[in-house]
Amino acid sequence: MAWTKYQLFLAGLMLVTGSINTLSAKWADNFRAEGCGGSKEHNFEHPFLQAVGMFLGEFSCLAAFYLLQCRATRQSDSSVEPHQTFNALLFLPPALCDMTGTSLMYVALNMTSASSFQMLRGAVIIFTGLFSVAFLNRRLALSQWVGILATIVGLVVVGLADLLSKHDSQHKLSEVITGDLLIIMAQIIVAIQMVLEEKFVYKHNVHPLRAVGIEGFFGFVTLSLLLVPMYYIPADSFSGNPRGMLEDALDAFCQVGRQPLIALALLGNISSIAFFNFAGISVTKELSATTRMVLDSLRTVVIWALSLALGWETFHPLQILGFFILLMGTALYNGLHHPLLACLSRSWHPPTQEGEQERLLGDSRTPINDAS
C-alpha cells in the first residue's frame, strides 16, 4: 500500500530529527570558547547540562499530549484517553535510569565519534533480551538469540574499527576506548529502564506522549538540582572544564555567551528530541513498528555519512561491516525477517490470510522515551 503524504512527512520527520539529535549534541561538543573569569579557550564539554536540555525536550511532549487531548475531546477521538488514572511516581524509577544512562552517553559522546556512539547503542538489545528473560519470565525465540549473538559480534567489529582508526588530539585512543565502554554501560541502564517500564508502567495504558513528558519532568527537575552539588565535586582529568569539577554550568553559560552557535546547537538538541518522540510514536501508530525500526537504523547511516562529510571522523571500512552485522542482529531480534520470509513465501505459494506480528524489541517494548 502506498504511503500518504502525511505518512511520508512523519517518516521524514523521524529520520531528520533523530539525526539532528545526535549531530547537534556532537556539534556543541566541537566548539571552543572562553569560559567564566577570563579562562582560556576550551572545548564545550558539559554533558550533564546537555542532558538537562534533553529532558526539557521530553518534558515539552506534555504540551503536545494536552493539545491532542483537547483536539480529541472536541472530535470525540478515543486515541487520546482524557481520564487516565495512575500514580505519576511510577515514572520516577524509569526516569532516574534514563537520567543516568543519558548522562553517561553524553559524557561518552565527548570521547568518541557520533557514528560509533549511534552504532554502539545497539548493545541495548543484548541486555534487554537477557533482562526480559531474567525478570519478566519471557522466552526468546531462536532468531532473537541469534540476533543477540550477531549484535555482540557487530559491537566487537565497531570497537575494533575505533581502535584501528586514526585519532586526533581531540579523540585520543584511551578516550575512545573509555567512551565506547561508557556507551555500552549506559545501555545496561537503558535496558533496566525498559524492564521497569514494561513491568510497572505499560499496564496502566498511559499515552506514550504523556509518559515521555512525565519522565522528562522527573529527569529535568532531578538533574537540574544535581547540577548544584556537581559544581563542587572535583573530577580532575575526567572533567572538561577549567575548574576540574564534575559539571560547571556557569562555565557553560559563559561559553554560550561568547559563542552563540553553541546555543543554536543546544536548541537543536532540545527541539529535535521533542519532535523525534512525537514522530516515532506517530510512525508506529500510522505505519508499523517495523517501519520505525528501519527508520531508526537509517538515521545511523545519515549520522555516519554527515560526520564523514563534515570531517568529524575518518572513514574505516570495518565500520561498514560492523554496521551491517549490527543491523542484521537488530532485524533478527525484532523479527524483521518475518515480513521478508512472508514475501518470499507468497511468491511461491498462494496468498493466505495470516497476519504479521510486529515487535519493537522482541516481545518487549522500546523505552517510552527512546530518543537520544
- Report which listed range, 82-91, 201-210, 312-321, is most confident: 312-321
Mode of pairing for the β-strands spanning 32-33 and 42-43:
antiparallel
Question: What integer pLDDT is reported at residue 181 of this predicted model?
Answer: 93
**289 falls in which pLDDT band (50, 70, 90)?**
low
- Report which listed range, 74-78, 162-166, 334-338, is most confident: 162-166
pTM of the model: 0.83
Residue 365 neighbours by CB distance under 10 Å = 18
Alpha-carbon distances, residue 105 vs 135, 173, 190 (angstroms): 25, 18, 11
Q: Select the more confidently predicted residue: 6 or 44.
A: 44
Question: What integer pLDDT is reported at residue 288 of this predicted model?
Answer: 72
pLDDT at 52 over 60: yes
User: Mean per-residue pLDDT for 141-149?
Assistant: 92
Non-local CB neighbours of 137 within 8 Å, separated by 6+ positions: none
**223 falls in which pLDDT band (50, 70, 90)?**
very high
Question: What integer pLDDT is reported at residue 294 of this predicted model?
Answer: 78
Label residue 113 exposed, middle or buried (CB < 10 Å: 0-12, 13-18, 19+).
buried
Q: Select the more confidently predicted residue: 306 or 366.
A: 306
pLDDT at 50 over 50: yes
Q: Select the more confidently predicted residue: 155 or 283.
A: 155
Three cell numbers, residue 238: 575526567
